[in-house]
Amino acid sequence: MTASDTVTTQHWIDGAYSGAASGETYDDVDPASGEVFARIANGGAADVDRALAAARRAFDTGPWPRTTAAQRAKVLRRLAELLVEHREELARLESRDAGKPFRETAERDVPRAADNCAFFASAIEQREQAAFFDRKPFLGTQREIVSIVREEPVGVCALLTPWNSPLMQATWKIAPAIAAGNTCVLKPSELTPLSTLRLAELCTQAGVPDGVVNVVTGFGPAAGAPLVADARVDAVAFTGSEATGIAINTAAAATLKKVTLELGGKSANVVCDDADLELAVEGSVLAMFRHSGQVCLAGTRMYVQRGIYDRFLERYLERVRALRVGDPQSHESDLGPLITAGHRERVERFCAQAGDDGVETLLRGARPSDPALARGNYLAPTIFAPRDESQTIAHEEVFGPVLSVFRFETLDEVVARANATRFGLSSYIWTANVATGMRFAQNVRAGMCWINGYFLRDLRQPFGGVGMSGLGREGGRWSLDFFTEPKLVCISY
Protein backbone atom coordinates (compact mmCIF):
# COMPACT_ATOMS: atom_id res chain seq x y z
CA MET A 1 0.00 0.00 0.00
CA THR A 2 1.14 3.55 -0.72
CA ALA A 3 0.27 6.65 1.23
CA SER A 4 -2.59 7.40 -1.18
CA ASP A 5 -4.16 3.94 -1.11
CA THR A 6 -7.55 3.43 0.54
CA VAL A 7 -8.80 -0.14 0.58
CA THR A 8 -12.11 -1.61 1.66
CA THR A 9 -11.86 -4.98 3.37
CA GLN A 10 -14.20 -7.91 3.84
CA HIS A 11 -14.33 -10.79 6.29
CA TRP A 12 -12.56 -14.05 5.44
CA ILE A 13 -15.14 -16.83 5.75
CA ASP A 14 -14.97 -20.38 4.37
CA GLY A 15 -11.90 -19.70 2.24
CA ALA A 16 -13.07 -16.48 0.55
CA TYR A 17 -13.67 -12.82 1.19
CA SER A 18 -17.21 -11.96 2.21
CA GLY A 19 -18.78 -8.57 2.94
CA ALA A 20 -20.45 -7.68 6.20
CA ALA A 21 -24.11 -8.72 6.32
CA SER A 22 -25.02 -5.15 7.22
CA GLY A 23 -22.90 -3.69 4.44
CA GLU A 24 -21.34 -1.38 7.01
CA THR A 25 -17.68 -0.41 7.28
CA TYR A 26 -15.65 1.66 9.70
CA ASP A 27 -12.50 3.73 9.24
CA ASP A 28 -9.01 2.37 9.85
CA VAL A 29 -6.84 5.35 10.76
CA ASP A 30 -3.07 5.55 10.30
CA PRO A 31 -1.71 6.40 13.79
CA ALA A 32 1.23 8.25 12.24
CA SER A 33 -0.76 10.61 10.02
CA GLY A 34 -4.36 10.59 11.21
CA GLU A 35 -5.43 9.62 7.68
CA VAL A 36 -8.09 7.05 6.91
CA PHE A 37 -6.31 4.50 4.76
CA ALA A 38 -8.71 1.56 4.90
CA ARG A 39 -12.39 0.87 5.45
CA ILE A 40 -12.99 -2.27 7.43
CA ALA A 41 -16.00 -4.58 7.25
CA ASN A 42 -18.00 -3.95 10.42
CA GLY A 43 -19.00 -7.41 11.54
CA GLY A 44 -21.93 -8.40 13.71
CA ALA A 45 -23.82 -11.45 14.91
CA ALA A 46 -24.86 -12.51 11.39
CA ASP A 47 -21.24 -12.54 10.20
CA VAL A 48 -20.14 -14.46 13.28
CA ASP A 49 -22.91 -16.97 12.63
CA ARG A 50 -21.68 -17.58 9.05
CA ALA A 51 -18.07 -17.92 10.19
CA LEU A 52 -18.97 -20.34 12.97
CA ALA A 53 -21.13 -22.39 10.63
CA ALA A 54 -18.15 -22.72 8.28
CA ALA A 55 -15.77 -23.61 11.11
CA ARG A 56 -18.21 -26.10 12.62
CA ARG A 57 -18.80 -27.77 9.27
CA ALA A 58 -15.05 -27.91 8.57
CA PHE A 59 -14.47 -29.54 11.94
CA ASP A 60 -17.40 -31.96 11.96
CA THR A 61 -17.23 -33.19 8.37
CA GLY A 62 -14.14 -31.66 6.75
CA PRO A 63 -10.75 -33.26 6.13
CA TRP A 64 -8.55 -31.16 8.42
CA PRO A 65 -9.22 -32.81 11.82
CA ARG A 66 -8.78 -36.21 10.13
CA THR A 67 -5.40 -35.52 8.55
CA THR A 68 -2.20 -36.81 10.10
CA ALA A 69 0.10 -34.65 12.16
CA ALA A 70 2.67 -34.89 9.38
CA GLN A 71 0.19 -33.59 6.81
CA ARG A 72 -0.77 -30.62 9.01
CA ALA A 73 2.89 -29.92 9.72
CA LYS A 74 3.64 -29.75 6.00
CA VAL A 75 0.98 -27.07 5.53
CA LEU A 76 2.24 -25.06 8.49
CA ARG A 77 5.79 -25.16 7.17
CA ARG A 78 4.55 -23.86 3.83
CA LEU A 79 2.72 -21.07 5.65
CA ALA A 80 5.97 -20.16 7.43
CA GLU A 81 7.71 -19.98 4.04
CA LEU A 82 4.99 -17.71 2.66
CA LEU A 83 5.30 -15.35 5.61
CA VAL A 84 9.02 -15.04 4.94
CA GLU A 85 8.41 -14.50 1.23
CA HIS A 86 5.93 -11.71 1.98
CA ARG A 87 7.94 -10.16 4.83
CA GLU A 88 8.31 -6.70 3.28
CA GLU A 89 4.60 -6.45 2.43
CA LEU A 90 3.44 -7.70 5.83
CA ALA A 91 5.92 -5.54 7.75
CA ARG A 92 4.83 -2.38 5.92
CA LEU A 93 1.17 -3.24 6.46
CA GLU A 94 1.71 -3.96 10.14
CA SER A 95 3.81 -0.85 10.67
CA ARG A 96 1.23 1.40 9.10
CA ASP A 97 -1.76 -0.22 10.79
CA ALA A 98 -0.27 -0.41 14.31
CA GLY A 99 2.19 2.49 14.19
CA LYS A 100 5.10 0.21 15.07
CA PRO A 101 8.57 1.08 13.79
CA PHE A 102 9.10 -0.71 10.49
CA ARG A 103 12.44 -2.10 11.56
CA GLU A 104 10.67 -3.88 14.42
CA THR A 105 7.89 -5.32 12.29
CA ALA A 106 10.36 -6.40 9.58
CA GLU A 107 13.14 -7.69 11.82
CA ARG A 108 11.10 -9.10 14.68
CA ASP A 109 7.35 -9.44 14.21
CA VAL A 110 7.07 -11.07 10.78
CA PRO A 111 10.02 -13.44 11.35
CA ARG A 112 8.50 -14.39 14.71
CA ALA A 113 5.15 -15.10 13.02
CA ALA A 114 6.93 -17.43 10.60
CA ASP A 115 8.79 -19.06 13.50
CA ASN A 116 5.48 -19.69 15.30
CA CYS A 117 4.17 -21.66 12.31
CA ALA A 118 7.38 -23.64 11.82
CA PHE A 119 7.68 -24.35 15.54
CA PHE A 120 4.18 -25.77 15.96
CA ALA A 121 4.66 -27.85 12.79
CA SER A 122 7.55 -29.60 14.50
CA ALA A 123 5.85 -29.63 17.91
CA ILE A 124 2.77 -31.48 16.66
CA GLU A 125 4.91 -34.05 14.84
CA GLN A 126 6.94 -34.68 17.98
CA ARG A 127 3.97 -34.71 20.34
CA GLU A 128 3.97 -38.00 22.24
CA GLN A 129 0.79 -39.85 23.11
CA ALA A 130 0.76 -42.17 26.07
CA ALA A 131 -0.03 -45.86 26.55
CA PHE A 132 -0.21 -47.69 29.90
CA PHE A 133 0.02 -51.45 30.47
CA ASP A 134 -1.37 -53.25 33.53
CA ARG A 135 -3.15 -56.43 34.72
CA LYS A 136 -6.51 -56.15 36.51
CA PRO A 137 -9.18 -58.58 37.71
CA PHE A 138 -12.44 -58.26 35.77
CA LEU A 139 -15.45 -60.53 36.36
CA GLY A 140 -13.35 -63.05 38.19
CA THR A 141 -10.55 -63.24 35.61
CA GLN A 142 -7.16 -61.54 35.48
CA ARG A 143 -6.99 -59.58 32.28
CA GLU A 144 -4.25 -57.69 30.49
CA ILE A 145 -5.08 -54.01 30.22
CA VAL A 146 -3.80 -51.54 27.65
CA SER A 147 -4.86 -47.95 28.19
CA ILE A 148 -4.25 -45.59 25.28
CA VAL A 149 -4.55 -41.82 25.67
CA ARG A 150 -5.60 -40.25 22.39
CA GLU A 151 -5.03 -36.51 22.03
CA GLU A 152 -7.84 -35.14 19.92
CA PRO A 153 -8.59 -31.61 18.73
CA VAL A 154 -10.90 -29.56 20.95
CA GLY A 155 -13.17 -28.41 18.13
CA VAL A 156 -14.03 -24.89 17.05
CA CYS A 157 -11.82 -22.25 18.65
CA ALA A 158 -12.57 -18.55 19.08
CA LEU A 159 -9.32 -16.59 18.90
CA LEU A 160 -9.24 -12.91 19.88
CA THR A 161 -6.07 -10.91 19.39
CA PRO A 162 -4.81 -7.43 20.43
CA TRP A 163 -3.70 -4.45 18.37
CA ASN A 164 -0.08 -4.12 19.48
CA SER A 165 1.42 -7.16 17.67
CA PRO A 166 -1.44 -8.37 15.47
CA LEU A 167 0.35 -10.71 13.06
CA MET A 168 2.56 -12.33 15.66
CA GLN A 169 -0.37 -12.77 18.03
CA ALA A 170 -2.57 -14.22 15.29
CA THR A 171 0.00 -16.90 14.42
CA TRP A 172 0.65 -17.48 18.13
CA LYS A 173 -2.94 -18.73 18.36
CA ILE A 174 -3.77 -19.99 14.86
CA ALA A 175 -0.63 -22.13 14.50
CA PRO A 176 -1.12 -24.38 17.56
CA ALA A 177 -4.90 -24.46 17.06
CA ILE A 178 -4.74 -25.80 13.52
CA ALA A 179 -1.62 -27.87 14.19
CA ALA A 180 -3.74 -29.84 16.66
CA GLY A 181 -6.50 -30.30 14.05
CA ASN A 182 -8.95 -27.63 15.17
CA THR A 183 -10.85 -25.06 13.15
CA CYS A 184 -11.12 -21.45 14.23
CA VAL A 185 -12.76 -18.06 13.95
CA LEU A 186 -10.41 -15.22 14.71
CA LYS A 187 -11.50 -11.70 15.61
CA PRO A 188 -8.55 -9.31 15.44
CA SER A 189 -8.61 -5.97 17.20
CA GLU A 190 -10.79 -3.53 15.32
CA LEU A 191 -7.78 -1.18 15.26
CA THR A 192 -5.33 -3.45 13.41
CA PRO A 193 -7.06 -6.11 11.26
CA LEU A 194 -5.13 -5.85 7.99
CA SER A 195 -2.20 -8.21 8.52
CA THR A 196 -4.56 -10.86 9.96
CA LEU A 197 -6.75 -10.75 6.86
CA ARG A 198 -3.66 -11.15 4.68
CA LEU A 199 -2.57 -14.06 6.89
CA ALA A 200 -5.90 -15.79 6.26
CA GLU A 201 -5.30 -15.56 2.51
CA LEU A 202 -1.83 -17.02 2.95
CA CYS A 203 -3.28 -19.90 5.00
CA THR A 204 -5.42 -20.91 2.02
CA GLN A 205 -2.45 -20.51 -0.31
CA ALA A 206 -0.43 -22.81 1.99
CA GLY A 207 -3.06 -25.54 1.75
CA VAL A 208 -5.33 -24.94 4.76
CA PRO A 209 -8.81 -26.19 3.71
CA ASP A 210 -11.75 -23.81 3.48
CA GLY A 211 -13.49 -23.13 6.78
CA VAL A 212 -10.51 -24.04 8.95
CA VAL A 213 -9.34 -20.42 9.42
CA ASN A 214 -11.99 -17.69 9.38
CA VAL A 215 -11.59 -14.00 10.23
CA VAL A 216 -14.42 -11.67 11.27
CA THR A 217 -13.53 -8.01 11.74
CA GLY A 218 -15.41 -5.55 13.88
CA PHE A 219 -15.87 -4.31 17.42
CA GLY A 220 -16.03 -6.33 20.62
CA PRO A 221 -19.69 -5.85 21.60
CA ALA A 222 -21.01 -6.57 18.08
CA ALA A 223 -18.60 -9.28 16.88
CA GLY A 224 -16.52 -10.50 19.82
CA ALA A 225 -19.34 -11.01 22.33
CA PRO A 226 -21.53 -13.27 20.14
CA LEU A 227 -18.45 -15.24 19.09
CA VAL A 228 -17.41 -16.00 22.66
CA ALA A 229 -20.92 -16.81 23.88
CA ASP A 230 -21.90 -19.13 21.02
CA ALA A 231 -22.42 -22.76 22.02
CA ARG A 232 -20.69 -23.94 18.83
CA VAL A 233 -17.38 -22.66 20.21
CA ASP A 234 -15.41 -25.18 22.26
CA ALA A 235 -12.45 -23.06 23.37
CA VAL A 236 -11.56 -19.36 23.63
CA ALA A 237 -8.06 -17.88 23.55
CA PHE A 238 -7.85 -14.15 24.24
CA THR A 239 -5.08 -11.60 24.58
CA GLY A 240 -6.04 -8.08 25.59
CA SER A 241 -7.29 -5.93 28.42
CA GLU A 242 -8.15 -6.96 31.95
CA ALA A 243 -11.78 -5.78 31.73
CA THR A 244 -12.44 -7.59 28.45
CA GLY A 245 -10.80 -10.75 29.78
CA ILE A 246 -13.16 -10.77 32.76
CA ALA A 247 -16.16 -10.32 30.46
CA ILE A 248 -14.99 -13.15 28.18
CA ASN A 249 -14.41 -15.53 31.09
CA THR A 250 -17.89 -14.77 32.42
CA ALA A 251 -19.56 -15.31 29.04
CA ALA A 252 -17.66 -18.52 28.34
CA ALA A 253 -18.60 -20.01 31.70
CA ALA A 254 -22.22 -20.56 30.64
CA THR A 255 -21.19 -23.35 28.27
CA LEU A 256 -18.05 -24.44 30.16
CA LYS A 257 -15.68 -23.60 27.33
CA LYS A 258 -11.94 -23.95 27.76
CA VAL A 259 -10.48 -20.47 28.21
CA THR A 260 -7.00 -19.00 28.22
CA LEU A 261 -6.49 -15.30 28.94
CA GLU A 262 -3.34 -13.21 28.60
CA LEU A 263 -4.13 -9.83 30.09
CA GLY A 264 -2.31 -6.77 31.41
CA GLY A 265 0.74 -6.19 33.52
CA LYS A 266 2.58 -3.73 35.74
CA SER A 267 5.90 -5.52 35.68
CA ALA A 268 8.80 -4.90 38.04
CA ASN A 269 12.26 -4.29 36.59
CA VAL A 270 14.91 -4.56 39.32
CA VAL A 271 18.47 -3.24 38.97
CA CYS A 272 20.87 -4.39 41.69
CA ASP A 273 24.06 -2.67 42.87
CA ASP A 274 26.24 -5.30 41.22
CA ALA A 275 24.54 -5.18 37.81
CA ASP A 276 26.47 -4.59 34.60
CA LEU A 277 25.58 -0.90 34.23
CA GLU A 278 25.45 -0.66 30.43
CA LEU A 279 23.65 -3.98 30.03
CA ALA A 280 21.06 -2.98 32.62
CA VAL A 281 20.57 0.47 31.09
CA GLU A 282 20.15 -0.77 27.53
CA GLY A 283 18.02 -3.73 28.57
CA SER A 284 15.80 -1.60 30.79
CA VAL A 285 15.24 0.99 28.05
CA LEU A 286 14.16 -1.78 25.68
CA ALA A 287 11.98 -3.43 28.34
CA MET A 288 10.12 -0.16 28.89
CA PHE A 289 9.95 1.73 25.60
CA ARG A 290 9.63 -0.90 22.88
CA HIS A 291 6.54 0.03 20.85
CA SER A 292 6.22 3.18 22.97
CA GLY A 293 5.42 1.15 26.08
CA GLN A 294 2.34 -0.42 24.43
CA VAL A 295 3.43 -3.91 25.45
CA CYS A 296 1.94 -6.09 28.19
CA LEU A 297 5.47 -7.16 29.24
CA ALA A 298 6.77 -3.61 29.67
CA GLY A 299 8.87 -3.11 32.81
CA THR A 300 6.86 -0.10 33.92
CA ARG A 301 7.98 -0.17 37.57
CA MET A 302 11.76 0.14 37.80
CA TYR A 303 13.47 -0.49 41.14
CA VAL A 304 17.12 0.60 41.39
CA GLN A 305 19.23 -0.31 44.42
CA ARG A 306 20.47 2.69 46.39
CA GLY A 307 24.19 2.12 45.79
CA ILE A 308 23.85 2.44 42.02
CA TYR A 309 20.76 4.65 41.84
CA ASP A 310 22.30 8.03 40.96
CA ARG A 311 24.82 6.65 38.48
CA PHE A 312 22.29 4.37 36.82
CA LEU A 313 19.60 7.03 36.59
CA GLU A 314 21.95 9.57 35.05
CA ARG A 315 22.91 7.13 32.29
CA TYR A 316 19.34 5.90 31.87
CA LEU A 317 17.88 9.38 31.43
CA GLU A 318 20.62 10.23 28.95
CA ARG A 319 19.75 7.14 26.94
CA VAL A 320 15.99 7.80 27.00
CA ARG A 321 16.47 11.42 25.90
CA ALA A 322 18.33 10.10 22.87
CA LEU A 323 15.38 7.97 21.70
CA ARG A 324 14.02 9.25 18.41
CA VAL A 325 10.25 9.72 18.17
CA GLY A 326 9.15 9.74 14.56
CA ASP A 327 7.58 8.20 11.48
CA PRO A 328 7.38 4.44 12.04
CA GLN A 329 8.20 3.82 8.37
CA SER A 330 11.64 5.35 8.91
CA HIS A 331 14.54 3.16 9.95
CA GLU A 332 15.72 6.06 12.15
CA SER A 333 12.70 6.05 14.48
CA ASP A 334 12.86 4.34 17.87
CA LEU A 335 9.32 5.22 18.98
CA GLY A 336 6.33 5.53 16.68
CA PRO A 337 2.89 6.95 17.53
CA LEU A 338 0.43 5.61 20.06
CA ILE A 339 -2.35 3.57 18.55
CA THR A 340 -5.14 6.20 18.61
CA ALA A 341 -5.64 9.84 19.52
CA GLY A 342 -7.96 8.70 22.30
CA HIS A 343 -5.33 6.38 23.73
CA ARG A 344 -2.75 9.17 23.72
CA GLU A 345 -5.19 11.37 25.62
CA ARG A 346 -5.68 8.57 28.14
CA VAL A 347 -1.92 8.34 28.70
CA GLU A 348 -1.71 12.12 29.05
CA ARG A 349 -4.48 12.05 31.67
CA PHE A 350 -2.44 9.59 33.72
CA CYS A 351 0.52 11.98 33.53
CA ALA A 352 -1.64 14.99 34.45
CA GLN A 353 -3.07 13.13 37.44
CA ALA A 354 0.44 12.24 38.59
CA GLY A 355 1.27 15.94 38.50
CA ASP A 356 -1.85 16.75 40.50
CA ASP A 357 -0.84 14.06 43.01
CA GLY A 358 2.54 15.71 43.50
CA VAL A 359 4.56 12.89 41.94
CA GLU A 360 8.13 13.96 41.17
CA THR A 361 8.81 14.19 37.44
CA LEU A 362 12.27 13.17 36.25
CA LEU A 363 11.54 13.52 32.53
CA ARG A 364 8.35 14.92 31.05
CA GLY A 365 7.47 13.82 27.57
CA ALA A 366 5.26 15.89 25.30
CA ARG A 367 3.81 15.85 21.84
CA PRO A 368 6.59 16.54 19.31
CA SER A 369 6.96 20.08 18.00
CA ASP A 370 7.98 18.89 14.52
CA PRO A 371 5.17 19.98 12.14
CA ALA A 372 5.68 16.77 10.12
CA LEU A 373 4.48 14.77 13.14
CA ALA A 374 1.63 17.05 14.16
CA ARG A 375 -1.17 14.85 12.78
CA GLY A 376 0.11 11.64 14.37
CA ASN A 377 -0.48 10.28 17.89
CA TYR A 378 3.11 10.82 19.01
CA LEU A 379 4.19 11.19 22.62
CA ALA A 380 7.72 11.30 24.03
CA PRO A 381 8.74 9.28 27.13
CA THR A 382 7.82 10.40 30.64
CA ILE A 383 9.57 9.19 33.80
CA PHE A 384 8.16 9.67 37.31
CA ALA A 385 9.58 8.98 40.77
CA PRO A 386 6.46 8.16 42.84
CA ARG A 387 6.52 8.21 46.62
CA ASP A 388 5.38 4.59 46.75
CA GLU A 389 3.21 2.04 44.99
CA SER A 390 -0.03 3.51 46.33
CA GLN A 391 0.05 6.42 43.88
CA THR A 392 -2.06 5.81 40.77
CA ILE A 393 0.75 6.16 38.26
CA ALA A 394 2.67 3.46 40.14
CA HIS A 395 0.00 0.75 40.18
CA GLU A 396 -2.26 1.21 37.13
CA GLU A 397 -1.35 -0.07 33.66
CA VAL A 398 -0.82 3.05 31.54
CA PHE A 399 0.14 1.19 28.35
CA GLY A 400 2.25 4.02 27.03
CA PRO A 401 5.77 5.50 27.32
CA VAL A 402 5.45 6.22 31.03
CA LEU A 403 7.82 4.76 33.65
CA SER A 404 7.83 4.86 37.47
CA VAL A 405 11.24 4.68 39.20
CA PHE A 406 11.88 3.70 42.84
CA ARG A 407 14.90 3.21 45.10
CA PHE A 408 15.28 0.06 47.17
CA GLU A 409 17.65 -1.27 49.82
CA THR A 410 17.40 -5.04 50.12
CA LEU A 411 16.27 -7.97 48.02
CA ASP A 412 13.54 -8.93 50.48
CA GLU A 413 12.21 -5.38 50.33
CA VAL A 414 12.11 -5.25 46.54
CA VAL A 415 10.42 -8.65 46.29
CA ALA A 416 7.65 -7.44 48.60
CA ARG A 417 7.26 -4.24 46.59
CA ALA A 418 7.35 -6.05 43.26
CA ASN A 419 4.51 -8.24 44.52
CA ALA A 420 2.42 -5.23 45.61
CA THR A 421 0.23 -5.36 42.50
CA ARG A 422 -2.90 -7.16 41.34
CA PHE A 423 -0.98 -8.13 38.19
CA GLY A 424 1.63 -10.84 37.81
CA LEU A 425 2.74 -11.18 34.21
CA SER A 426 6.50 -10.69 33.93
CA SER A 427 9.49 -9.49 35.95
CA TYR A 428 13.15 -8.63 35.36
CA ILE A 429 16.27 -8.46 37.48
CA TRP A 430 19.79 -7.31 36.59
CA THR A 431 22.53 -8.69 38.82
CA ALA A 432 25.98 -10.31 38.62
CA ASN A 433 25.00 -12.74 41.39
CA VAL A 434 23.15 -15.80 40.12
CA ALA A 435 21.93 -16.61 43.65
CA THR A 436 20.37 -13.13 43.94
CA GLY A 437 18.66 -13.56 40.61
CA MET A 438 17.32 -16.98 41.51
CA ARG A 439 16.08 -15.86 44.94
CA PHE A 440 14.17 -13.06 43.26
CA ALA A 441 12.77 -15.40 40.59
CA GLN A 442 11.61 -17.91 43.22
CA ASN A 443 9.80 -15.28 45.29
CA VAL A 444 8.39 -12.81 42.81
CA ARG A 445 4.71 -13.35 42.03
CA ALA A 446 4.81 -13.41 38.25
CA GLY A 447 4.36 -15.95 35.50
CA MET A 448 7.74 -15.12 33.96
CA CYS A 449 11.08 -13.79 35.17
CA TRP A 450 14.13 -12.78 33.15
CA ILE A 451 17.56 -12.48 34.78
CA ASN A 452 19.91 -10.14 32.87
CA GLY A 453 17.70 -10.06 29.81
CA TYR A 454 14.41 -8.92 28.33
CA PHE A 455 11.95 -11.24 26.57
CA LEU A 456 14.57 -13.72 25.44
CA ARG A 457 12.08 -16.07 23.88
CA ASP A 458 12.39 -19.81 23.39
CA LEU A 459 9.16 -21.00 21.77
CA ARG A 460 9.17 -24.08 24.00
CA GLN A 461 8.63 -21.87 27.06
CA PRO A 462 5.29 -21.14 28.75
CA PHE A 463 3.94 -17.60 28.38
CA GLY A 464 1.38 -16.09 30.73
CA GLY A 465 0.79 -14.62 34.14
CA VAL A 466 -0.92 -14.93 37.50
CA GLY A 467 -3.43 -12.77 39.33
CA MET A 468 -5.21 -10.30 37.06
CA SER A 469 -2.66 -10.95 34.33
CA GLY A 470 -4.63 -13.93 33.12
CA LEU A 471 -5.43 -17.63 33.15
CA GLY A 472 -3.45 -20.48 31.66
CA ARG A 473 -0.32 -20.46 29.53
CA GLU A 474 0.52 -20.29 25.86
CA GLY A 475 3.63 -21.54 24.08
CA GLY A 476 5.22 -24.94 23.54
CA ARG A 477 3.38 -27.91 24.97
CA TRP A 478 1.09 -25.61 26.95
CA SER A 479 -0.54 -24.35 23.75
CA LEU A 480 -0.99 -27.89 22.47
CA ASP A 481 -2.39 -28.97 25.85
CA PHE A 482 -5.00 -26.23 25.54
CA PHE A 483 -5.96 -27.02 21.96
CA THR A 484 -6.30 -30.79 22.54
CA GLU A 485 -8.52 -33.01 24.65
CA PRO A 486 -7.19 -36.30 26.07
CA LYS A 487 -9.42 -39.32 25.47
CA LEU A 488 -8.86 -42.60 27.30
CA VAL A 489 -9.32 -45.80 25.27
CA CYS A 490 -8.98 -48.91 27.49
CA ILE A 491 -8.61 -52.42 26.03
CA SER A 492 -8.73 -55.59 28.09
CA TYR A 493 -7.83 -59.05 26.76
Q: CA 318, CA 429: separation in Å to the nearest integer?
A: 21
CATH 3.40.605.10, applies to 7-263: yes
Q: CA 136, CA 146: separation in Å to the nearest integer?
A: 10
Q: CA 436, CA 419: separation in Å to the nearest integer?
A: 17
pLDDT above 90 for 5 = no
Sheet containing 131-138, strands listed edge to edge, beginning at the edge strand earlier in sequence: 131-138, 141-153, 484-492
Q: CA 448, CA 318: separation in Å to the nearest integer?
A: 29
> Hey, is 138 helix, strand or coil?
strand
Overall pTM surpassing 0.85 (yes/no):
yes
The 10s digit of each residue's pLDDT in 54-93 is: 999 999 999 999 999 999 999 999 999 999 999 999 999 9
Answer yes or no: are the C-beta atoms of 185 and 158 closer than 8 Å.
yes
Start-to-end CA span in the chain (Å): 65
The 10s digit of each residue's pLDDT in 265-306 is: 999 999 999 999 999 999 999 999 999 999 999 999 999 999
Segment 334-356 mean pLDDT: 98
Residue 457 neighbours by CB distance under 10 Å: 13
Angle at the Cα of 475 (from 130 to 160), degrees rounded to 5?
A: 115
- What are the φ/ψ torsions at residue 259 (nearest 5 degrees)? -140, 135
Residue 35 neighbours by CB distance under 10 Å: 16
Q: CA 425, CA 468: separation in Å to the nearest integer?
A: 8
Segment 196-205 mean pLDDT: 98
pLDDT above 80 for 98 = yes
Answer yes or no: are the C-beta atoms of 172 and 162 closer than 8 Å.
no
Residue 264 neighbours by CB distance under 10 Å: 21
Dmax over Cα atoms in the chain, in whole Å?
A: 89
Segment 221-237 mean pLDDT: 98
Segment 384-389 mean pLDDT: 97
Q: Cβ contacts of residue 385 below 8 Å, gap of 6+?
A: 359, 360, 361, 362, 404, 405, 406
pLDDT, position 430: 98
Burial class (CB in 10 A: 0-12, 13-18, 19+), 322: exposed
Rounded to the nearest integer, the mean pLDDT of the chain is 97
Asked, colleague to colleague, whether 7-263 and 268-458 share their fold, the answer is: no
Q: CA 364, CA 257: separation in Å to the nearest integer?
A: 46
Q: CA 450, CA 458: separation in Å to the nearest integer?
A: 12
The full DSSP string for 353-371 is HHHHTT-EEEE-------G
Phi-psi region of 207 (alpha: psi -120 to 50; beta: other; left: phi over 0): left
Q: Cβ contacts of residue 472 below 8 Å, gap of 6+?
A: 259, 260, 261, 464, 478, 482
pLDDT, position 6: 85
Task: Using alpha carbons, select from 440, 353, 369 the residue that is nearest to residue 402.
Answer: 353
The 10s digit of each residue's pLDDT in 118-153 is: 999 999 999 999 999 999 999 999 999 999 999 999
Segment 436-456 mean pLDDT: 98
pLDDT, position 4: 53
Residue 434 gets which letter from DSSP?
H
Q: Cβ contacts of residue 359 below 8 Å, gap of 6+?
A: 384, 385, 386, 387, 391, 393
pLDDT above 60 for 472 = yes
Q: What percent of the chain has pLDDT over 90?
A: 99
CATH topology of domain 268-458: Aldehyde Dehydrogenase; Chain A, domain 2 (3.40.309)
pLDDT above 50 for 2 = no
Query: Amino acid identity, residue 388?
Result: D
Segment 349-369 mean pLDDT: 97
Q: Report residue 241's pLDDT band, with 50, 70 and 90 as the boundaries.
A: very high
Q: CA 384, CA 303: separation in Å to the nearest integer?
A: 12
> Hey, is 347 helix, strand or coil?
helix
pLDDT above 90 for 441 = yes
Phi-psi region of 227 (alpha: psi -120 to 50; beta: other; left: phi over 0): alpha
pLDDT, position 3: 47
Q: CA 297, CA 287: separation in Å to the nearest integer?
A: 8
Domain residue ranges in the chain? 7-263, 268-458
Q: Cβ contacts of residue 173 below 8 Å, gap of 6+?
A: 157, 159, 161, 184, 186, 237, 239, 474
Q: Are strands 141-153 and 131-138 parallel, antiparallel or unpaired?
A: antiparallel
Catalytic positions are 262, 296
